[in-house]
Structure 1
């Protein structure tokens, strides 16, 4: 049987950090979980090995996909893809996308001892679900939801796009003479925020990356460390902090903490707005506000009122 012609190919583990990072920077919607630093940190902290694949159309690189693998038995290796593949161009036509999905499906099969858990970076709609099914994948979980804030219009347009109530609360924060501190190294401010983050995780029983993982990710690239800590002081005392993680031309809001005094002076509104200004100053074009779900409706409302576009991915497949 003659297989249909496929103009795509995936070159595996044949690139440097610099080459991967340069391609990621060309992606319009880069994701944190497809960064080189994320893969290296997973290997160091959790024992997952990263395979880095560059997707070519004919001889031209058009996308990338990172796969984490962990050997469970001599004949069985667990494999997973989170929030990939990513594309340099805005959109890959559906029939062409199916060719790449089939390549991934054929590489990771249970009968070959390489079962795959796949959370593709594809929006949830009937056409996408059909393509996943047509290429041999079976859906088994709901998709990630978040809010994407486009920064390309600039600070004035982004501020004008804030929900009226959110903008009024930002005005309140700005009247409280909050002082901003910014740190791009995993130093004292990072340690301070991680201490409060751990206490909050335990008290509220939610999942999130460990401080060890975040530090390992930060240390995986000495020339371009990804973490940014912004901290608000009121009356000389820190009352709130946020952690951003940069990836390509975008960033993700990863950690946030505030105390009662910070809530009273709207310190989180102040810090999220200062995050937008910092990212714009450093030429970033997108801001993933870090996930929303039905169980935390107040957090979801806080994020959606920043004026971004909510999105939901197609879900988890095997």
Structure 2
């Protein structure tokens, strides 16, 4: 398994998914870093490149060199960068314009089962203990072989109800088809009926907890604790060392944030979202310093 942890949007698995869907996409591999760029057309800006969760650095000491080359690399095309490993001061000096403040991710290190269980927060561990005694049965399936799984339908309905956007089912199914064995669903059942499930996407040394849903009976039985714990155990056994649990939003979803952190995950602040445009770069370099926070 590749030792360089690559976030999902920077992984070969994601590149294969984009290729399968015919989405404009470019991969770069240099001594200092690797990164992937998606392209899409946006109102006003026209054709825009997106670099999400990258670059991934082999040599973090060479960030300045990479930033100096952005203008030549883009050849006039705007670039939206979800910065990872780059400071606001560096980005502003390189001509990037701040768009969105940094988000915080829950990142969970995987390892021996005893160590992971010891790292669980007490309330989370107590709920897991109760779920383990509730008579729930667990089973695994591959998304590629179950394209109409109820989990996808439930997630799509919840996105519409709550007005948030995640990966559309089409993209999830394409990932499963392009990467056999790497889009895996664990389901908890009570008396043969599903009560909770989660989808994990595997990519090199990392994996991503992509979606999870618990039905009312599952919530009563703390089934999601058991589902996620089973995912942690299985992924660690398969050699994955880091699980991305996604964004922490303590304001809008405090319960979900507490659930993720209860696993022992670290809260990791990202670098924010920035725009590079050749016409804006001279102004961006003169922005007040508080924009680089």
Shift of 1:71: 5.9
1:103 to 2:69 alignment: yes
1:72-94: CA deviations, max 9, x gaps? 79x96311100011124xx612x
| Residue among 161, 186, 194 paired with 1:238 | 194
Q: 1:184 to 1:87 in 2, by over 3 A?
A: farther
The offset of 1:69, in angstroms, is 1.9
Shift of 1:195: 1.6
Residue number in structure 1 paired with 2:104: 145
Q: Calculate the aligned-residue CA RMSD, in Å.
A: 2.2
Report the 3-state secondary structure (helix = DSSP H, G, I; strand = E; otherwise coil) of the residue aligned with 1:77: strand
SS of the residue 1:26 aligns to? coil
2:20, 2:108 → 1: CA distance?
31
The two structures have a TM-score, normalised by structure 2, of: 0.86
Q: 1:311 aligns with which of 257, 263, 268?
A: 268
What's the counterpart of residue 156 of structure 2? Answer: 198
For these two proteins, the number of residue pairs brought into alignment is 273
Q: Who is 1:82 aligned against?
A: 52
Give the alignment of 1:129-144 within 5 angstroms: 129-144=88-103
- Answer whether contact 2:209 2:243 (CA < 8 A) is retained: yes
**CA separation in 2, counterparts of 1:196 and 1:308?**
26
Are the counterparts in 1 of residues 20 and 178 from structure 2 also a CA contact under 8 Å? no
The correspondence for 1:275, drawn from 205, 226, 231, is 231
Offset at 1:185? 4.0
Aligned to 1:161: 119
List gaps (5 residues or longer) in structure 1.
Answer: 1-21, 57-61
Instruction: Show structure 1 runs of 4+ deviating over 3 A.
Output: 39-45, 70-73
Q: How does 1:27-106 map to 2 (within 5 A)?
A: 27=4, 29-42=5-18, 45=21, 48-56=23-31, 62-70=32-40, 77-88=47-58, 92-93=60-61, 96-106=62-72
2:11·2:203 contact (CA, 8 Å) conserved in 1?
Answer: yes
Q: State the 1:106 CA deviation.
A: 3.2
Contact 1:232–1:239 (CA under 8 A) maintained in structure 2:
yes
Give the counterpart of 1:177 among 135, 139, 142.
135
Matched residues in 2 for 1:72 and 1:289: separation? 29
Match of 1:115 among 65, 78, 86: 78
Higher relative contact order (CA 8 A, sep 6+): 2
TM-score (ref. length: structure 1): 0.80
Higher alpha-carbon deviation: 167-176 or 136-145: 136-145
Distance in 1 of aligned mates of 2:273 and 2:71 = 14
Q: How has the CA–CA distance of structure 1 residues 190 and 282 changed in structure 2, closer, same or farther, with 3 Å as cutoff? A: farther
Name the stretch that deviates more: 271-280 or 134-143. Answer: 134-143
On the 8 A contact 1:149/1:287 being kept in 2, the answer is yes
Give 1:143 shift. 2.2
> Contact 1:166 / 1:306 at 8 angstroms: preserved in 2?
yes
Q: 1:105: Cα distance to partner?
A: 3.7
Gaps of 5+ in 2: 276-293
Q: d(CA) in 1 for partners of 2:161 and 2:258?
A: 22
Task: Report the Cα distance in structure 1 between the residues aligned to 2:41 and 2:258, rounded to whole angstroms.
Answer: 41
